[in-house]
Amino acid sequence: MRENIDNNKTVKIFGINFIYGEYEDAIYRLNHGALMVVPAAPALAMINSDAKYYQALQKSDFAIPDSGFMILVLRLFKGIKIKKLSGLEFLKKFLNEEKLKQSNGIFFIDPTLEDSLINNEFLRKNGIILGKSNHYIAPIYNNDNIIDTKLLDIIEKKKPKYIIINLGGGVQERLGLYLKNHLSYYPGIICTGAAIAFLTGRQANIPNFAEKFHLGWLYRCFENPKKFIPRYLKGFLLLPLLIKESINK
């Protein structure tokens, strides 16, 4: 039976349980078996147009507050103060966990073979030695219904303590929920998407000062304006949704 880890240190926003931004809280929950999601502002702004994605967020065990924009709006309009914990910041701390060096401590779900090889080499350089069998190359999933019995069988045999899903938003959360609902045990399931690509060099690494001052979004826009400027402009649609939302601390 899954241990009850609801210690009232969450704030429910759009029916999603956000923790208050402490890494220690996140890793505690994951250590007891939980599905963690990391919704950014542009994704949250579109929840009403993607019911399956929204449902996966609501049925996750908790979310970390990755969006500096959401945090600012909550503080200015709702008087709610929570700390930003981005997927990148979480991952930097998480990859220092000693438990990852244990046998079957971690299992990666990657989008391509190239990503898998690069991620594996990055982990090796950081003292985490993973065999190829601890990486899984995800197929292109049916958007109507995400099912992967092959992946389930592999994870059931290995029973890793943590599963990191490095896929795109909208897919990884639903796959995480699928695993949570069908596995016979309770691993920590982490949906940090492309965050690891900033560490491996697949995407330009974000300096610590940019993360500290909530400017990761601006750095991404300078690095790849065609991709990120339209994406972050969508994030402003979150403002009226948050203002209208009734939030109980």
The predicted pLDDT at position 30 comes to 97
Q: What angle do CA 191, 85, 197 make, to 5 degrees?
A: 50
CA-based nearest residue to 238, from 21, 9, 39, 11: 39
The predicted pLDDT at position 1 comes to 45
Q: What is the CA radius of gyration of the chain?
A: 17
Kindly list the distances between the CA atom of residue 7 and the CA atoms of 3, 11, 163, in Å, as whole numbers in the listed order: 11, 11, 23
- Could you identify the residue written with the tokens 């994030």? 235
pLDDT tens for the chain, 249 residues long, are 455 555 558 999 999 999 999 999 999 999 999 999 999 888 898 898 899 999 999 999 999 999 888 998 999 999 999 999 999 999 999 999 999 988 889 999 999 999 999 999 999 999 999 999 999 999 999 988 999 999 999 999 999 999 999 999 899 999 999 999 999 999 999 999 989 998 987 765 666 655 555 556 555 656 667 666 666 666 678 888 899 988 866
Q: Which pLDDT tens digit goes with each residue over 155-177? A: 999 999 999 999 998 999 999 99
φ, ψ for residue 205, nearest 5 deg? -65, 140
- What is the distance between the alpha carbons of residues 180 and 178, in angstroms, rounded to a whole number? 5
- Could you identify the residue written with the tokens 């065999």? 131
- What is the distance between the alpha carbons of residues 16 and 55, in angstroms, rounded to a whole number? 9
Please count the other Cβ atoms lying within 10 Å of the Cβ belonging to residue 24: 9
**By the 8 A CB rule, do 238 and 45 touch?**
yes
Q: What angle do CA 215, 219, 223 make, to 5 degrees?
A: 170
- What is the distance between the alpha carbons of residues 247 and 237, in angstroms, rounded to a whole number? 18
The predicted pLDDT at position 207 comes to 61
- What is the distance between the alpha carbons of residues 54 and 44, in angstroms, rounded to a whole number? 8
- Give the 3-state secondary structure of residue 149: helix
**By the 8 A CB rule, do 64 and 36 touch?**
yes
- What is the distance between the alpha carbons of residues 25 and 100, in angstroms, rounded to a whole number? 18
**By the 8 A CB rule, do 19 and 90 touch?**
no
The predicted pLDDT at position 237 comes to 80
The predicted pLDDT at position 220 comes to 64
Tell me if the pTM is above 0.75. yes
- What is the distance between the alpha carbons of residues 53 and 175, in angstroms, rounded to a whole number? 10
- What is the distance between the alpha carbons of residues 15 and 6, in angstroms, rounded to a whole number? 15
The predicted pLDDT at position 69 comes to 87
Q: Which pLDDT tens digit goes with each residue over 86-115? A: 999 999 999 999 999 888 899 999 999 999
- What is the distance between the alpha carbons of residues 107 and 72, in angstroms, rounded to a whole number? 34
